[in-house]
Amino acid sequence: MKMKKVAMLAFCIAICLAGSTNLLAGSWVISKNGKMDCKSIRIGAAKTRLILQDGQKLVLPTEQIRQYYLNGRLYSKRFLYRDGNPCKQMVFMELVDYRDGLCLYRYFDKVVDPSHYSYYVYENGRFSYALDDSMEEQEICDQFRYFGIQAVIM
């Protein structure tokens, strides 16, 4: 009887793992029209080119894309902040980690010189604060540690 339970538990775990692997394996976009599973995604400044799972090619204005998942990474459109002030510009930020309603995003800012990654914390979808020069180095390290990341400040 115990062997049946153990075998059934192992089978259920295997099914769950196989199902979750299939969900995470593909690429997708979420636009104002809904979610689309994709074989290929190319995000441009004005247009996004997609090849859907059925082979259909589609071009959408990038402004219609809200979120996409590519190469195991999730990107969400968020307002960009510089020096703690909103720029009224939405950009795709990579979700680094999340915990207790807080999400840590990073954005590679090519506009500023020198170009660099900027890190932002959002709480329940709203901007909370940026990890930037306005914080003490130890506070920045503590914030990264909260998300399970070892920070190296140069």
Q: What is the pLDDT of residues 86-120, one digit of tens each?
A: 888 899 999 999 999 999 999 998 887 788 889 99
Angle, CA of 97, 101 and 107, to the nearest 5°: 40
Global model pTM greater than 0.85: no
Q: Are 102 and 149 in contact (CB under 8 A)?
A: no
pLDDT tens per residue across span 33-71? 899 999 999 999 999 999 999 999 999 999 999 999 999
**31 near 66, Cβ under 8 Å?**
yes
